[in-house]
Amino acid sequence: MTFLRLAAPVWLAAASALLLSGCGGATSAEDDGRIAIVASTDVYAQIAEAIGGDFVDATAIVSSSGQDPHSFEPSARDQLTVQRADLIIENGGGYDAFVDALIESSGSTAPVITAVEFSHEWPDNPGHGAGTAEGEHSEDEHSEQEHGDEEHADGEHADHEHVEGFNEHVWYDPHTMQHLAEEIAHELADLMPAEAATFEDNATEFAAGIAELEAALGEIDAAHAGAEVFVTEPVSLYLVEAAGLVNVTPDAFSEAVEEGQDVAPSTLLDSLKLLRSGNVDVVIANTQTGGAETTDVLAEAEALSIRVVEFSETVPDGATYLSWMQANIDSLAGALAP
């Protein structure tokens, strides 16, 4: 989903006023000894908490399933939060471009971790297109991307625009999140060297949880490889592919929904015909996006007794990244069961 860049003056002026009055913002490491982490969404804030534990204070800019990430606009308080961050985590790939605007307007020099850079599908990744059949990163590939680029090391941030043909929803790729967690552990160790071993241990534990997710996806692959799914929008495609399933959605449909545009009548008709073919096993919907055409597809799926699975873009209340992904995988497996 491509976020629109904000014309900053209105909320920047408000932020400047708040800065003068000293209001709001995240707690910094200077205040309570903890590392202040700001993440674009609660997905990355939760992973940061898993790695940093009690030594971090992680704040998510988009933090509720009630907030639509597609239309999110940051506030003056968000700028203050970014200004006080010791570490910033974004998705990149054009998904959360508002973070770039906040970094620029706040003058933040905090290191920035960009999740898309750890995807083997990211065009700027040295291992792009060279992964194994399982999508594994090679050791050389990971070492080259590990710890970010020189711009990030110097506290500067290169803008990451939407890349045509690249699926930026990389948090639905557990393997990419494992490498992201490793990078978070590295950055936290730089900020708090005395606890480096703790961060490394937490990253190792997180990796064990990722291995369990990948094993569960492997079970779906073994039982249902080649099953056809229709996705109303591409947020879950990494998980779908890892499970050995085949996305048969017309690109024009999912792209229109992703961009918040109307689906062309002919594309909607083709999509409904596809559902009526009897070949689609599951329809996957995004709970935080949609429109009239998505409603039509879901109604048709219900009428045809095609099972529907709903995935979100943010972590549900009370869940961790790992428990959330496991629940998504379980839902997918259940929908495919006889």
pTM: 0.82
Q: If DSSP codes are grouped into helix, strand and coil, which group holds residue 277? A: coil
Cα–Cα nearest to 111, from 119, 103, 122: 103
User: 74: closest CA among 49, 96, 47, 53?
Assistant: 96
Asked if residues 263 and 315 have their Cβ atoms less than 8 Å apart, the reply is no
What are 36's two structure tokens? 């202040």
Q: Is 166 exposed, middle or buried (0-12, 13-18, 19+ CB in 10 A)?
A: middle
CATH class of the structural domain 225-336: alpha beta
In the numeric block, which tokens belong to residue 170? 């990389």
Q: What is the pLDDT of residue 258?
A: 83
Q: What is the pLDDT along the chain (338 residues), one digit of tens a residue?
A: 433 333 444 444 444 444 433 333 333 444 679 999 999 999 999 999 999 999 999 999 998 766 666 667 889 999 999 999 999 999 999 899 899 999 999 999 999 999 999 999 888 765 554 443 333 444 444 444 444 444 443 444 444 566 777 899 999 999 999 999 999 999 999 999 999 999 999 999 999 999 999 999 999 999 999 999 999 999 999 999 999 999 999 999 998 988 888 999 999 999 999 999 999 999 999 887 778 999 999 999 999 999 999 999 999 989 999 999 999 999 999 999 99
Question: Which pLDDT score, from 0 to 100, does residue 187 have?
Answer: 98
What CATH class is the domain 9-213?
A: alpha beta
Q: Where are the domains of the chain?
A: 9-213, 225-336
Tokens of 315: 């972590």
Same fold, 9-213 and 225-336: yes
**Residue 282 backbone zone (phi > 0: left; psi -120 to 50: alpha; other: beta):** beta
